[in-house]
């Protein structure tokens, strides 16, 4: 009896918005709402309040005037941005550096994971994994410090080798085009090992009977990789590819900033470093905010689109 009554009440509550029910549920779960208060304050103060600050892209904001007091100027700043060569340069650099990362950095962990999976000697596999993951745990400041030492034309290991072999020292990080190559390779160095984890997990999920059947059919190891392993991790590859495509506009700040230097600015200046310089060093708040807003909005739209395609490809979206 009691049960049926209770379920009837539940059904009633689901039928429409019931103030009494809401109040009683708030009363029941009061302690849960209490738990939400502090995190929500943090979320509001440090995530949503800055989003309100985005409106200074449309205002003539000059401190000490507050954001609310500043006069509106419409799209003036955006007109200025879209007419400036500087903007197109940093946009181009962002797309080129991210595009190169996608082309070379994306396949690297897949290849590495497949190779690791072929290793039967356990200690060798474990040790290589441990050593390959290591670079991922270092900050970009440290990595830049290490790489400037490694690639230095005067004292670096690579150039010692090159000059000992009779070549001339290569300015890996101070010549514009070389810098782009170095930036790309350093990125692979940092993340390829770590990137194998997700593929190795996907490979473990492949049904081992498939391999056994292939052996019976006389397939060699290359054939097994090509016909079983690769198709087995295809969904993971596609999902990650789509997610990465969605991030092509995004730019991390630390990597280009720490690896960049005055000599390679033409190729190293990306949206994030440009925003930092214009905003915090030249104090052009509204211009820098507008460029950042442009990047955020385009980036967000790209993520939505890629998420849509990821779902359509049957790989499940991120939302």
Partner 1 sequence: MNTKVANRIFDVIIYFILILAVLVSIIPFLHIAAKSLSSNEAVMTMKVTLLPVDFTLEAYSRVIGDVSMVKSLLLTVLVTVAFTVLGMFLTICLAYALSRKGLRGQKVFLLLVLFTLYFNGGIIPHFINIFELKLYNTIWSIILPLALSPFNMIILRTFFLSSVPDSLEESAKLDGCGHIGILIKIFLPLSLPALATLSLFYAVGRWNAFSDALFYITERSLYPIQLKLYYLINAMGATETLDSAGSATQLAPDVIKSASVMFATIPILIVYPWLQKYFVTGITVGAVKG
The region, left, alpha or beta by phi > 0 then psi within -120 to 50, assigned to residue 74 is left
For residue 50, the minimal CB distance to partner 1 (Å) is: 3
Q: Identify how many contiguous H helices and E strands the chain contains and give both numbers.
A: 18, 0
Sole window of 78-86, 133-141, 174-182, 205-213 interacting with partner 1 (rule: CB under 8 A): 133-141
From CA 224, how far away is CA 51, in angstroms rounded?
51
Question: Which residues, 90 to 119, sit near partner 1 by CB under 8 A?
Answer: 112, 115-116, 118-119
Sole window of 19-27, 72-80, 81-89, 173-181 interacting with partner 1 (rule: CB under 8 A): 19-27
Q: Binding mask 23-62 vs partner 1 (x if CB under 8 A, - otherwise)?
A: --xx--x-xxx-xx-xxx-xx-xxxxxxxxxx-x------
> Which residue in the set 92, 176, 221, 312 belongs to the binding site for partner 1 (CB under 8 A)?
221
> Which residue in the set 97, 113, 203, 275 belongs to the binding site for partner 1 (CB under 8 A)?
275
Question: Which residues, 278 to 317, sit near partner 1 by CB under 8 A?
Answer: 279-280, 285, 288-289, 292-293, 295-296, 300, 303, 316
- Give yes or no for residue 205 binding partner 1 (CB under 8 A): no
> Which residue in the set 141, 181, 213, 305 belongs to the binding site for partner 1 (CB under 8 A)?
141
From CA 308, how far away is CA 305, in angstroms rounded?
5
From CA 273, how far away is CA 3, in angstroms rounded?
63
From CA 84, how far away is CA 101, in angstroms rounded?
26
> Which residue in the set 104, 128, 174, 244 belongs to the binding site for partner 1 (CB under 8 A)?
128
Whole-angstrom Cα Rg for the chain: 27
CB 185 within 8 A of CB 192: no
- Examine residue 12 and say whether the peptide bond preceding it is cis (omega within 30 degrees of 0): no
Which of 267/306 has CB closer to partner 1? Answer: 306
């Amino acid at each position: 009896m009691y049960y049926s009554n209770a379920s009837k009440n539940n059904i009633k509550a689901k039928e429409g918005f019931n103030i009494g029910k809401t109040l009683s549920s708030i009363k029941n779960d009061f302690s849960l709402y209490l738990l939400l208060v502090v995190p929500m304050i943090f979320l509001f103060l440090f995530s949503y309040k800055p989003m309100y600050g985005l409106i200074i892209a449309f205002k003539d904001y000059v401190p000490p005037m507050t954001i609310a007091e500043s006069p509106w100027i419409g799209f003036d700043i955006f007109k200025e941005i879209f007419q400036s060569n500087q903007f197109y340069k940093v946009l181009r650099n962002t797309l080129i550096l991210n595009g190169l990362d996608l082309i070379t950095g994306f396949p690297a962990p897949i290849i590495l994971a497949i190779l690791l999976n072929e290793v039967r000697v356990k200690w060798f596999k474990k040790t290589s994994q441990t050593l390959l993951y290591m670079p991922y745990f270092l900050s970009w400041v440290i990595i830049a410090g290490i790489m400037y030492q490694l690639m230095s034309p005067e004292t670096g290991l690579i150039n010692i080798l090159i000059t000992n072999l009779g070549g001339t020292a290569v300015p890996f990080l101070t010549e514009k085009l070389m810098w782009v190559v170095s930036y790309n390779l350093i990125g692979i160095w940092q993340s390829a090992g770590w990137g194998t984890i997700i593929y190795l997990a996907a490979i473990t999920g492949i049904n081992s009977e498939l391999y056994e059947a292939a052996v019976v059919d006389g397939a060699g190891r290359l054939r097994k990789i090509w016909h079983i392993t690769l198709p087995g991790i295809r969904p993971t590859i596609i999902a990650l590819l789509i997610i990465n495509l969605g991030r092509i506009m995004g730019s991390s700040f630390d990597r280009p900033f720490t690896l960049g230097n005055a000599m390679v600015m033409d190729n190293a200046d990306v949206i994030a470093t440009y925003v930092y310089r214009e905003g915090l060093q030249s104090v052009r708040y509204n211009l820098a905010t507008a460029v950042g807003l442009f990047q955020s909005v385009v980036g967000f739209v790209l993520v939505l689109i890629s998420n849509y395609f990821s779902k359509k490809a049957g790989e499940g979206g991120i939302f």
